Amino acid sequence: MVKELKKNDKTLYVCEECGFGYEEKEWAEKCQRWCQRHPSCNLEIIQHGAPVEE
């Protein structure tokens, strides 16, 4: 499961493996599936990401 992070009125979906955030759940799930199998990040997935600010 990806983590949901509420940010103002938006929801970000965060990959629990690498902590990268996405505006679309689909990409966060793709990232997490990748991260569970591969030790490094997939640039093609990461370019769809959104910065997670605390």
Cβ closest to Zn ion, residue 43 vs residue 53: 43
46 forms part of the interface with Zn ion (CB under 5 A): no
Q: Which of 2, 12, 15, 22 binds Zn ion (CB under 5 A)?
A: 15
**E strands along the chain, which residues?**
3-7, 10-14, 21-22, 49-50
2 forms part of the interface with Zn ion (CB under 5 A): no
52 forms part of the interface with Zn ion (CB under 5 A): no
Cα pseudo-dihedral 10, 5, 7, 19, rounded to 10: -110
Binding residues for Zn ion (CB under 5 A):
15, 17-18, 31, 35
